[in-house]
Amino acid sequence: MVKKIIQILISLFVFGLCLFLATLADTNIVSDNFSLKMLIFYIFLIQWLVFVPCFILRTEKIYDLTGSFSYVFAIIFVLYNSSLSIPSLILGAAIIFWAVRLGVFLFFRIKKAGEDKRFKEIKQSPTRFFLAWSLQGMWVSICSLCALTAIASESGVVENIYFYTGLLIYIAGISIEIIADKQKIRFRSLEKNKDTFITSGLWSKSRHPNYLGEILLWFGISVMSISSLSGFQYITLISPVFSYILIVYVSGVRILEESGREKWGHLDSYKEYIKNTPVLFFKL
């Protein structure tokens, strides 16, 4: 019972934290009929509404797809309520492209696998599963808040050297992520590679090049947005930092590193790979 109460309180805390950050970012927003705080509420509402049928059916198959849809919804919503400009559209399109690609990729991956093992126990508990959906709302809100603030600000997304530098970083990041994912899919498609680890292509330079790409692209998004921020809005630059912490210490890298050690930690070839290949950043 205590655990359930704690899980509910954490869900409410992350919701309140995101609303607080949005309130700080709401300064210098043009539209009288729009606020970032309202948009954050909608993002969480989407997670909570989808949670209901998913818990009833005990399925997590559209979890990632819902997260991607939330990004797309947030960008379209803020563009609709802001003064449109080419830089704003480019920034919005960059996030939408990433979200759609990742959402479709993860959906078909889980469809093929049959389940997401992370949720095997989580989806049996209503409060724990609800917390997972609330944390996804936090992920969408904080990661996108910098870009949402820039688009909604009075000046819109400013076209300058920072914008184009950030765009180049984003392109590098999304390219690395796409290439790494395709290389791993190709590797896994071969029967001889079943139950082995990939060490070719970008994976010979980094143990998690796909996550490196994602970290880079969110850093690029923040650089594209930075010139549009002022005052308390600079708090939204937490976006790439949050993304890095989430990927490295909470979900992706940490979980896969533990899984890798369990599967192949006894192999000399894996020990050699770990020794010579950095976790994230390329070793040239």
The token duo for 94 is 């960059």
Q: Is residue 61 part of a domain?
A: yes
- Asked if residue 284 has pLDDT above 50, the reply is no
Contact between 132 and 63 (Cβ < 8 Å): yes
Contact between 260 and 198 (Cβ < 8 Å): no
Q: For tokens 């000046």, name the residue.
A: 155
Which of residues 105 and 145 earns the better pLDDT score?
Answer: 145
Contact between 151 and 79 (Cβ < 8 Å): yes
DSSP states of 201-258: GGGGT-S-HHHHHHHHHHHHHHHHHGGG--GGGGGGGHHHHHHHHIIIIISHHHHHHH
Pick from 177, 144, 152: which is nearest to 243 by CA? 144
How much is the pLDDT for 32? 65
Contact between 75 and 100 (Cβ < 8 Å): no
For 141-180, b where at least 16 C-beta lie within 10 A, e where not — what string? bbbbbbbbbbbbbeebbbeeebbeebbebbeebbebbbeb
How much is the pLDDT for 282? 59
pLDDT (tens digit per residue) in 120-166: 778 788 889 999 999 999 999 999 999 999 999 888 899 999 999 99
How much is the pLDDT for 188? 87
Contact between 208 and 252 (Cβ < 8 Å): yes
Q: Is residue 282 part of a domain?
A: no
Q: Is residue 99 part of a domain?
A: yes
HSE-up of 137 (CA within 13 Å, CB side)? 29
Q: What is the rounded distance in angstroms from the CA atom of residue 68 to the CA atom of residue 95?
A: 10
Q: Is residue 159 part of a domain?
A: yes
Q: How many domains does the chain have?
A: 1
| Residue span of the structural domain in which 183 resides | 2-276
The token duo for 200 is 């070719």
Q: Is residue 284 part of a domain?
A: no
Q: Is residue 281 part of a domain?
A: no
Q: What is the rounded distance in angstroms from the CA atom of residue 104 to the CA atom of residue 165?
A: 28
Q: What is the rounded distance in angstroms from the CA atom of residue 195 to the CA atom of residue 270?
A: 12
Q: Is residue 283 part of a domain?
A: no
| Average pLDDT score, the chain | 89
